[in-house]
Amino acid sequence: MNNHNFKPHVVIVGGGFAGLACAHKLAKSDNVRVTLIDKNNYHQFQPLLYQLATAELSTPDVATSLRYSLRNHANVDVKLQEVTAVNPATRTVTTREGQSYQGDFLVLAAGSQANFFGTAGAKENAFPLYSVEEAQRLRSRILAVFEDADRDPKLVEQGALNFVIVGGGATGTEIAGALADMINLTMPTEYGDLAVKYARVYLVDHGKALLAPFPVKAHDYAAQTLQRKGVQLLMGIGVKEVGPDRVLLSDGSSILTRTTVWAGGLMAAPLAANTGLPQGHGGRIEVKPDLTVQGFPRVYALGDFANIAGPDNEALPQLGSVAQQGGAWTAKNILAEIAGETPTPFDYHDKGIMAMIGRDAAVAAIGKKRHELDGAIAFAAWLGVHALLMSGVRERIEAFIDWGWNYFGKCRPMQVLDRSDEGRINWGEGPESESLSDAPTVKTVR
Amino acid sequence: MNNHNFKPHVVIVGGGFAGLACAHKLAKSDNVRVTLIDKNNYHQFQPLLYQLATAELSTPDVATSLRYSLRNHANVDVKLQEVTAVNPATRTVTTREGQSYQGDFLVLAAGSQANFFGTAGAKENAFPLYSVEEAQRLRSRILAVFEDADRDPKLVEQGALNFVIVGGGATGTEIAGALADMINLTMPTEYGDLAVKYARVYLVDHGKALLAPFPVKAHDYAAQTLQRKGVQLLMGIGVKEVGPDRVLLSDGSSILTRTTVWAGGLMAAPLAANTGLPQGHGGRIEVKPDLTVQGFPRVYALGDFANIAGPDNEALPQLGSVAQQGGAWTAKNILAEIAGETPTPFDYHDKGIMAMIGRDAAVAAIGKKRHELDGAIAFAAWLGVHALLMSGVRERIEAFIDWGWNYFGKCRPMQVLDRSDEGRINWGEGPESESLSDAPTVKTVR
């Protein structure tokens, strides 16, 4: 097979953990050519987006150019386009830019978006945290409310320094811890006039426990750690409405805030509805054990874009490691199919889960074991886990470890307030300008 | 003087090299309190903006949070506001945000903006390179034209991969070298399909020599180095008009391009016109030898915002080192005035000038000596000069040196295409859709 154009063509939609891992593994084979399509020119490292939002990392720390990552592979072509429709019968995708790509194999790995579960005002007013752009927007908002309150301290009474996090999973717990550290450690040294001690972080979850997928003891450890950092936990409480200047809770109370972080769940990216393929929980594409779609043998769906059954028939969680392993497995299956073999069922190897609660605490669940870690050990373990996850992108590890030491050393924060949050905050006339029902305001203890 | 509020108050407008150096030096005194006002929350390192534009550095590499930089000084307060008017008689400034600040001393260091010299279409269509936001916009444009040409190679015929740099001073020469390196070294490995070899960099200057302030031999060395990298030099030619899709030159020819970089000169920031103070060349505030304004004894103007006479009565150039030394000198003068002494004339110590021409060449003029440097030595010297210039911000040096090694090692480029260049490029119907007179097109040799 010397003529490039006669090699089987694999079209991959999405350069996340799943799509990029698949492309990297296929790139090593001389028997295929690959077109990787993504609406961004970069791969984003979702597990660290909360640190981009809290200005502890900068954009290039969590975003790697896809072209750069794949630059040494002549059989992989990257296209910066947004796939808007899929014809699974012909394995053809069409893009917003008006082009189409047809593959002998099609790999759908378009990822997720925030799931607001129909909560009123959430789409308009809340800050999700799944993409680099969303994290940049949240960072700009966090920095802007501190600056606005510094200019006019009365805005504190309008909730300028209240931060509400919706959802107590890994993302919600991690952003809560990072925000509390930012408020406790960084901001007081930087705002001479402003009483940063009035800043409050609230975490709201309709469930009873933080970090539900972790073992029970981790729930308590996470709660105690966040409370020690000053985070107010409102458990067993839902969010009824996210307004422009407050959040209305299911118990009838409200919290004045301009910064509601939505860590309340994910659903498949909008493309899923334009594939004609069966969608399951969260709108994700239903797949067979080998990650192909029933009735479409050479169409694969992976990562957060797919509902993948685990060994106990429960769906595998939306995790970078599931996506990455699924991508590599699919590449292996595609090469097997090209060699005339049958694709094999995806065998996910659970290496465990981990969440960082601020700089100095972490929880990990590895197999049946459970760990709560404090201080430097917590950080080192967390660093190691993420370095492993990054290993598809070898050259990044060293930079990442470098950064780790800086981070632990509490060095240079990335507090550059740019225009990512385009909408200037309209502070209006104060609490009187109600946009929600006149619910009682949650008392903030000062 | 124990009561903070009774200490003399210094209001500094602008957190660039001049304002920040002044603030840092005043911060060490117990006898003053300082308010530093800037429209951005960061200090920007202008000499490296061209590397932000060519995706070799990321934003936090060239922008340092002002609050972070001054966090250890309780007598310095940072305000994120835009000063829009100055009353020099009362030493009061008012901001767009509707607040005013009155000082016992006023330091005006609001910097520069691009000077288009009335060139038609330049303000609308050219990319200046003086601020972080401008560099981010240019970076997005450069990455976007490569992506657009990758999607539709016919756009190359519309000039998608032509880059025109207006001005052959240090900024123009540096961005030309960096762009040529990007095209020659980085892009061919990343765009499989696209014939990157069609990319062209043009440098246009109405003068006869590059790097005019350098000695004559440096002019030739810069020209030869750029030509070796493939840059087309159009010397002795002016720019008549910058259109949305082409540049019209004084010789009647035109170059199709969507990326015209304006390195054609600077003038004082808009605030200068709202001070009521005398403006000289480039709209800059005229100052006495001690950097105060005639008739307003405790009003200082510094850096790119001021016309400062040098020892031979020619104005000092717009350089970071002039601004930084002026800032420190002014702090010393203010402390002297508080102690009842007279301010002394600014004595600029010329440490030399240097320009980098791509990764592997540099020119330097130090005193009467002239150096042309190649390869690692060029880079090391350049790195040392800039590390010295950064020395007001100690903790940055280490990061900078780290970065230097990465850069020289041609590591990880920062090619994250974000939304900094908001306007999507309107490619229209090709060269027929003329917006300028039907001038002959400059032949690009392929």
pLDDT at A283: 97
End position of a domain, from candidates A292, A319, A338: A338
Answer whether residue B47 is part of any domain.
no
B291's tokens: 């950097």
- Residue to substitute from A407, A416, A422, A426, interface B, most B β-carbons within 10 A: A416
Q: Do B190 and A60 touch (CB under 8 A)?
A: no
Q: Contacts of residue B65 in chain A, CB cutoff 8 Å?
A: 190, 413, 415-416
Q: How far apart are CA A271 and CA A208, in angstroms?
A: 33
- Residue to substitute from B40, B148, B412, interface A, most A β-carbons within 10 A: B412
Q: Among all residues of chain A, which has the CA nearest to that of B189?
A: A71
With beta carbons less than 8 A apart as the criterion, state whether B79 and B35 touch.
Answer: yes
The answer to whether residues A184 and A271 belong to one domain is: no
Q: Do A395 and B411 touch (CB under 8 A)?
A: yes
Q: Contacts of residue A99 in chain B, CB cutoff 8 Å?
A: 151
Q: Do A58 and B63 touch (CB under 8 A)?
A: no
Of the listed B56, B134, B174, B372, which one is catalytic?
B174
**Nearest CB to B42: which of A76, A396, A416?**
A416
**Nearest CB to A68: which of B81, B190, B396?**
B190
Which residue reads 């390196």 in tokens?
B181
Q: Contacts of residue A143 in chain B, CB cutoff 8 Å?
A: 41
Helices (H) and strands (E) counted in chain A, each on its own, are: 12, 26
Q: Do B150 and A79 touch (CB under 8 A)?
A: yes
pLDDT interval class at A17 (50, 70, 90): very high
Q: Among all residues of chain A, which has the CA nearest to that of B99?
A: A151
CATH code at B284?
3.50.50.60
Given 3-state DSSP classes, what are the helix, strand and coil percentages for chain A, each rounded to the nearest 5? 35, 25, 40
Q: What is the pLDDT of residues A160-176, one digit of tens each?
A: 999 999 999 999 999 99
**Nearest CB to B97: which of A64, A151, A191?**
A151
A156 against A432, higher pLDDT: A156
Q: Please state, rounded to an integer, the average pLDDT across all residues of chain A.
A: 86
End position of a domain, from candidates A229, A264, A299: A264
Q: Contacts of residue B151 in chain A, CB cutoff 8 Å?
A: 79-81, 97, 99
**Nearest CB to B151: which of A58, A64, A81?**
A81
The answer to whether residues B98 and B230 belong to one domain is: no
Q: Do A41 and B143 touch (CB under 8 A)?
A: yes
Q: What is the pLDDT of residues B106-121, one digit of tens each?
A: 999 999 999 999 999 9
Strands (E), B225-352: 232-235, 239-242, 246-249, 254-256, 259-262, 266-268, 285-286, 292-293, 296-301, 306-307
The answer to whether residues B148 and B256 belong to one domain is: yes
pLDDT at B386: 62
Q: Contacts of residue B415 in chain A, CB cutoff 8 Å?
A: 41-42, 65, 67-68
Q: What is the pLDDT of residues A281-335, one digit of tens each?
A: 999 999 999 999 999 999 999 999 999 998 888 899 999 889 999 999 999 999 9
Q: Do B72 and A412 touch (CB under 8 A)?
A: no
Answer whether residue A408 is part of any domain.
no
Q: Contacts of residue A37 in chain B, CB cutoff 8 Å?
A: none
Q: Among all residues of chain A, which has the CA nearest to that of B148?
A: A80
**Nearest CB to A60: which of B132, B143, B416?**
B416
Cβ count near A402 (within 10 Å): 13
Answer whether residue B12 is part of any domain.
yes
Report the gap between the CA of A67 and the closest CA in chain B (Å).
5
A85-92 CB contacts, 8 Å cutoff, 24+ apart: A85/A271, A85/A274, A85/A275, A86/A13, A86/A271, A86/A274, A86/A275, A86/A276, A86/A277, A87/A276, A88/A275, A88/A276, A88/A277, A88/A293, A88/A296, A88/A299, A89/A296, A91/A11, A91/A296, A91/A298, A91/A299
Q: Please state, rounded to an integer, the average pLDDT across all residues of chain B.
A: 86
The answer to whether residues B207 and B283 belong to one domain is: no
Report the gap between the CA of B335 and the closest CA in chain A (Å).
22
Residue A376 has pLDDT above 80, yes or no: no
The answer to whether residues A38 and A131 belong to one domain is: no
End position of a domain, from candidates A264, A294, A328: A264
For chains A and B, what is the number of CB pairs under 8 angstroms?
A: 118
Bridge partners for A262 per DSSP:
A128, A166
Q: pLDDT truncated to tens, each residue of chain B (446 aa)?
A: 445 567 999 999 999 999 999 999 999 999 999 999 999 999 998 888 999 999 888 888 788 889 988 988 999 999 999 999 999 999 999 999 999 999 999 999 999 999 999 999 999 999 999 999 999 999 999 999 999 999 999 999 999 999 999 999 999 999 999 999 999 988 988 887 787 889 999 999 999 999 988 888 889 999 999 999 999 999 999 999 999 999 999 999 999 999 999 999 999 999 999 999 999 999 999 999 999 999 999 999 999 999 999 888 889 999 988 999 999 999 999 999 999 999 999 999 887 788 889 888 888 777 666 667 666 666 666 666 665 555 444 444 444 444 444 444 434 456 667 666 655 577 765 544 444 444 444 544 33
Q: Do A76 and B419 touch (CB under 8 A)?
A: no
Q: Domain count for chain A, please give it.
A: 2
Report the gap between the CA of A57 and the closest CA in chain B (Å).
9
Q: Do B412 and A67 touch (CB under 8 A)?
A: no
Q: How far apart are CA A298 and CA A334, in angstroms?
A: 8
The answer to whether residues A32 and A145 belong to one domain is: no
With beta carbons less than 8 A apart as the criterion, state whether A22 and A331 touch.
Answer: yes
Q: Among all residues of chain B, which has the CA nearest to that of A71?
A: B190
Q: Contacts of residue B147 in chain A, CB cutoff 8 Å?
A: 41, 80
- Residue to substitute from A51, A71, A141, interface B, most B β-carbons within 10 A: A71
The alpha carbon of residue A79 and the mean position of all alpha carbons in its chain are separated, in whole angstroms, by 23
Residue A404 has pLDDT above 90, yes or no: no
The answer to whether residues A100 and A56 belong to one domain is: yes
Q: Do A418 and B81 touch (CB under 8 A)?
A: no
DSSP for A9-62, please give it: EEEEE--SHHHHHHHHHHHT-TT-EEEEEESSSEEE-GGGHHHHHTTSS-HHHH
Cβ count near B387 (within 10 Å): 15
Q: What backbone torsions phi and psi does residue B112 show, to the nearest 5 degrees?
A: -120, 175
Q: Among all residues of chain A, which has the CA nearest to that of B58?
A: A60
Residue A383 has pLDDT above 80, yes or no: no
Q: Do B416 and A41 touch (CB under 8 A)?
A: yes
Q: How far apart are CA B300 and CA B386, in angstroms?
A: 26
- The pTM score is 0.83
User: How do B292-293 and B100-102 pair as beta strands?
Assistant: unpaired
Answer whether residue A99 is part of any domain.
yes
Q: How far apart are CA A127 and CA A140, in angstroms?
A: 11
Q: Do B416 and A150 touch (CB under 8 A)?
A: no
Q: Which residues lie closer than 8 Å to A105 by C-beta, 6 or more apart?
A: A8, A9, A10, A11, A91, A298, A299, A300, A334, A337
Q: What is the pLDDT of residues B64-89, one digit of tens each?
A: 889 988 988 999 999 999 999 999 99
pLDDT at B100: 97
> Is A97 marked active-site?
no
The answer to whether residues A192 and A226 belong to one domain is: yes
Answer whether residue A355 is part of any domain.
no
Answer whether residue B353 is part of any domain.
no
The answer to whether residues A229 and A180 belong to one domain is: yes
Q: What backbone torsions phi and psi does residue B376 show, to the nearest 5 degrees?
A: -60, -35
Residue A237 has pLDDT above 70, yes or no: yes
Q: Which residues lie closer than 8 Å to B371 by C-beta, 6 or more apart?
A: B362, B363, B364, B365, B381
Report the gap between the CA of A306 and the closest CA in chain B (Å).
27
Cβ count near B366 (within 10 Å): 14
CATH code at A244?
3.50.50.100
Residue A338 has pLDDT above 70, yes or no: yes
- Alpha helix segments (H runs only) across A70-164: 122-125, 132-151
Q: Do B417 and A80 touch (CB under 8 A)?
A: yes
**Nearest CB to A59: which of B58, B132, B412?**
B58
Answer whether residue B415 is part of any domain.
no
Answer whether residue B129 is part of any domain.
yes
Containing structural domain, residue B297: 4-39+81-114+267-338
Q: Do A416 and B132 touch (CB under 8 A)?
A: yes
The answer to whether residues B272 and B393 belong to one domain is: no
The answer to whether residues A95 and A149 belong to one domain is: no
The answer to whether residues A106 and A96 belong to one domain is: yes
Report the gap between the CA of A58 and the closest CA in chain B (Å).
7
Residue A429 has pLDDT above 90, yes or no: no
Q: Do B74 and A414 touch (CB under 8 A)?
A: no
Q: Do B151 and A97 touch (CB under 8 A)?
A: yes
Q: Contacts of residue A413 in chain B, CB cutoff 8 Å?
A: 65, 68
pLDDT interval class at A410 (50, 70, 90): very low
Of the listed A174, A241, A337, A372, which one is catalytic?
A174
Report the gap between the CA of A153 and the closest CA in chain B (Å).
13
Q: What backbone torsions phi and psi does residue B67 show, to the nearest 5 degrees?
A: -60, -40
- Alpha helix segments (H runs only) across A152-250: 170-181, 187-190, 216-228
